[in-house]
C-alpha cells in the first residue's frame, strides 16, 4: 500500500501448502471476485513434502492454487466475466505430469523435474478450468513471465539467464496484466502466453526457453489432472 498509494489494498495470510490456511482464506472472502492471479510459487526445492505426503512444488505451485480457485468459484461466477491468470513457466518444457508418480514416491527426486511438472499442471489448470467454468463466465489462461531476478532462485544459486534475456519486475508482470485486463482476451481461455503473445507450439524441449508443449494443452491430460486433484483434496 505504501508503494502504490492505494488505500484499497488489503492483505490476508495465505499459505498454499497448508489446506487449513487456504480454507480460512476462502471462508473469509465475501465479495464477487473479478480477477484471480495465481502467482505464488517455489522453484527447484530440495525434497520436501506436505503433511499429506505431497511433493512440495506440486502442492504449492499447483494443488494449493487449484484448491483456492475451487473454493472461490462462486465468488468468481458472481462477477459474471471473471478471469483466472495462472503463472506458469518455460520450465514446463522439462516435464509432463508423470501421473503414475506425481509425488516421487518411486522415482528418485529431481528438483527440476518436480518444478517442471508443477508448471505443466499450471497450464493444464487453465485448460481444465475454462472447459468446466466457461458457462459460469469464468476463463483461465496461463503464462510465462520471463526471467526476473527475485528470491525465487534462492535454491539455484541466483538467476543464470543471460542478461539480454532477463526482465525487470514490471516487464515480467506485463503478460499477467495483459491476461487479466485486455479486452482482446474477453471470452478467451485455455491458452498459454509469453512476451504478451500466445506461445508457439513446440515438439521438443526447445532448450527450455520458449514455446508450449502439446502435453500442457492436451484436454485429456487436463481432465485427468482435474480428477486426480479432486481425489487428493477429498
Enzyme catalytic residues: 115
Q: How far apart are alpha carbons 140 and 158 in whole angstroms? A: 31
C-beta separation of 65 from 125 below 8 A? yes
Q: How far apart are alpha carbons 210 and 93 in whole angstroms? A: 8
The whole-angstrom distance between residue 214's C-alpha and the CA centroid of its chain comes to 17
Burial of 192 (0-12, 13-18, 19+ CB in 10 A): buried
Burial of 163 (0-12, 13-18, 19+ CB in 10 A): exposed
Amino acid at each position: 500500500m505504501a508503494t502504490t498509494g492505494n488505500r484499497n489494498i488489503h492483505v490476508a495470510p495465505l499459505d498454499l501448502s497448508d489446506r487449513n490456511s487456504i480454507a480460512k482464506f476462502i471462508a473469509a472472502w465475501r465479495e464477487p471476485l473479478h480477477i484471480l492471479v495465481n502467482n505464488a510459487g517455489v522453484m527447484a526445492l530440495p525434497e520436501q513434502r506436505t503433511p499429506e505426503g505431497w511433493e512440495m512444488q506440486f502442492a504449492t505451485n499447483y494443488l494449493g492454487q487449484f484448491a483456492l480457485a475451487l473454493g472461490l468459484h462462486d465468488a468468481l461466477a458472481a462477477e459474471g466475466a471473471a478471469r483466472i491468470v495462472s503463472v506458469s513457466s518455460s520450465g514446463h518444457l522439462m516435464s509432463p505430469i508423470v501421473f503414475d508418480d506425481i509425488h516421487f514416491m518411486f522415482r528418485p527426486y529431481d528438483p527440476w523435474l518436480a518444478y517442471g511438472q508443477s508448471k505443466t499442471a499450471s497450464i493444464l489448470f487453465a485448460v481444465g478450468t475454462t472447459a468446466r467454468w466457461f458457462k459460469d463466465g469464468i476463463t483461465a489462461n496461463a503464462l510465462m513471465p520471463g526471467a526476473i531476478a527475485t528470491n525465487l532462485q534462492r535454491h539455484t544459486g541466483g538467476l543464470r539467464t543471460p542478461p539480454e534475456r532477463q526482465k525487470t519486475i514490471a516487464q515480467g508482470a506485463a503478460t499477467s496484466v495483459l491476461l487479466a485486463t485486455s479486452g482482446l482476451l474477453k471470452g478467451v481461455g485455455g491458452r498459454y502466453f509469453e512476451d504478451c503473445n500466445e506461445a508457439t507450439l513446440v515438439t521438443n524441449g526447445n532448450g527450455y526457453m520458449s514455446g508450449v508443449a502439446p502435453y500442457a494443452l492436451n484436454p485429456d491430460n487436463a481432465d485427468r489432472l482435474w480428477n486426480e486433484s479432486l481425489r487428493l483434496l477429498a
